[in-house]
């Protein structure tokens, strides 16, 4: 029997993947760390986690194999760097970092360590996204050339903690301009546009402030991205506008048809593509799950506990991929370079927006990236 992978959880946001970890027989949740002692004890008691820490470095220096980082986003890179140097594999919540320098440091640290780094972009693992990817891989969309991802989530109540004090989000999210939280929008569509890299971006927002909270975050911020081959990706991140939640608003257009996510008002995700049986299929919508036979096998045979991990099983399979990468010492698909590229789109969108929506190049994050390329061109 293979030795269990001992995982430590940093931050109570790790609740999002706890069920996925518990559903994996190869995993032991061995430790948890949080500054808030009440929250720490509540989670440790609820999930029977044996070791509790208030200081991240103490947990990282303990007898663990891997750490899932789910702390505030400004802590992700400092904690990932420490964990990698301590010989731990890392799975990090979004975003990967909060400055461009952090992204360069992170790539170099992963390469030096020889450890697994995986980006916990769980929206890529929903059954809908994985089914569309399967159809793209089979050529059923023809050549995809335009995609849209929108994260529309009014979460302005998170500006303050329940005690009325300002939260970290007031500054690192709502205090920023541009698409500060891009990867829920980008991750799925870039999964469909496999082997594409975002080459340059330009970001736009309505002039003036339309929210009633007095924060710097623009309402309706939109970034247009060009890939290396000239395909277009549009993303919108809006966490201040007064509207219902719609965080999985995706579209994909190819030469043989299109996909449209459910959205807030439609009956379900829909697809319009040509097939041999329906040569005019690109002219009318069909339910996406009419094509459920093309789901990856592991989604079709998932157990109840795996499906109940969240996001239709996605929160189990993201953990499963991380653990398998550790077992096989194999770089995960959602690696540090994707994490940094997608995060950089958000960081540089602020520079674009505050410079008249200027086009900004995205660095080519890759193994052995030379120092002379670790710059921002304007």
Q: Is 360 inside any structural domain?
A: yes
Q: Is 288 inside any structural domain?
A: yes
CB within 8 A of 234, min separation 6: which ones? 146, 147, 148, 149, 222, 223, 224, 225
- C-alpha to C-alpha distance for 155 and 307, rounded to whole angstroms: 27
Mean pLDDT by 10 residues, the chain (378 residues): 90 88 93 95 96 98 98 98 98 98 98 98 96 98 98 93 94 94 97 97 92 87 98 96 90 97 76 94 95 96 90 92 97 98 98 97 98 93
Q: Is 263 inside any structural domain?
A: yes
Whether the bond between 95 and the residue before it is cis, its omega within 30 degrees of 0, is yes
Given the DSSP bridges, would you call strands 257-260 and 246-254 parallel, antiparallel or unpaired? antiparallel
Residue 113's pLDDT is 98
Residue 14's pLDDT is 87
Number of CB atoms found within 10 A of residue 161's CB: 12
What is the three-class DSSP state of 91?
strand
Most distant CA pair in the chain, distance: 62
Q: Is 112 inside any structural domain?
A: no
**Number of domains making up the chain:** 1
Residue 137 maps to which CATH number? 3.30.360.10
Q: Is 179 inside any structural domain?
A: yes
Q: Is 281 inside any structural domain?
A: yes
Residue 7's pLDDT is 98
Q: Is 239 inside any structural domain?
A: yes
Could you tell me what percentage of the chain is helix, strand and coil, using 3-state DSSP and rounding each to the nearest 5?
Answer: 40, 20, 40
Q: Concatenated DSSP letters for 107-154?
A: HHHHHHHT--EEE--GGGGSHHHHHHHHHHHTTTT-SEEEEEEEEE--
């Amino acid at each position: 029997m293979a030795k269990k992978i001992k995982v430590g959880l940093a931050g109570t946001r790790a609740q999002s993947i706890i069920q996925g970890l518990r559903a994996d027989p190869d995993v032991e949740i061995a430790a948890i760390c949080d500054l808030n002692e009440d929250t720490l004890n509540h989670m440790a008691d609820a999930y029977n986690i044996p070791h509790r820490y208030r200081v991240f470095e103490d947990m990282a220096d303990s007898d663990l194999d891997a750490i899932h980082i789910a702390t505030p986003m400004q802590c992700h890179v400092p904690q990932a760097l420490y964990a990698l140097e301590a010989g731990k594999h890392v799975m990090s919540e979004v975003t990967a970092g909060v400055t461009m320098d952090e992204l360069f440091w992170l790539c170099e640290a992963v390469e030096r360590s020889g450890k697994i780094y995986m980006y916990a972009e769980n929206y890529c693992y929903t059954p809908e996204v994985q089914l569309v990817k399967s159809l793209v891989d089979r050529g059923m969309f023809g050549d995809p050339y335009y995609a849209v991802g929108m994260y529309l989530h009014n979460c302005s109540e998170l500006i303050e903690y329940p005690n009325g004090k300002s939260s970290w989000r007031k500054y690192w999210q709502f205090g920023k301009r541009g698409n500060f939280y891009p990867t829920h929008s980008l991750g799925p569509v870039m999964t469909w546009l496999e082997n594409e890299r975002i080459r340059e971006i330009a970001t736009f927002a309505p002039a003036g402030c339309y929210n009633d909270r007095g924060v710097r975050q623009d309402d309706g911020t939109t970034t247009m991205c060009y890939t290396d081959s000239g395909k277009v990706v549009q993303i919108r991140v809006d966490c201040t506008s007064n509207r219902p939640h719609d965080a999985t608003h995706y579209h994909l257009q190819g030469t043989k048809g299109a996909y449209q996510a459910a959205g807030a008002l439609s009956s379900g995700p829909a697809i319009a593509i040509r097939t041999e049986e329906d040569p005019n299929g690109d002219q009318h919508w069909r339910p996406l799950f009419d094509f459920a036979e093309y789901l990856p096998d592991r989604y079709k045979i998932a157990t109840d506990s795996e499906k109940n991990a969240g996001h239709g099983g996605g929160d189990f399979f993201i953990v499963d991929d991380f653990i398998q990468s550790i077992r096989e010492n194999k770089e995960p698909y959602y690696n540090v370079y994707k994490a940094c590229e997608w995060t950089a789109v958000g960081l540089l969108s602020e520079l674009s927006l505050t410079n008249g929506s200027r086009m900004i190049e995205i660095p080519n994050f890759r193994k052995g990236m030379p120092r002379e390329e670790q710059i921002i061109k304007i």
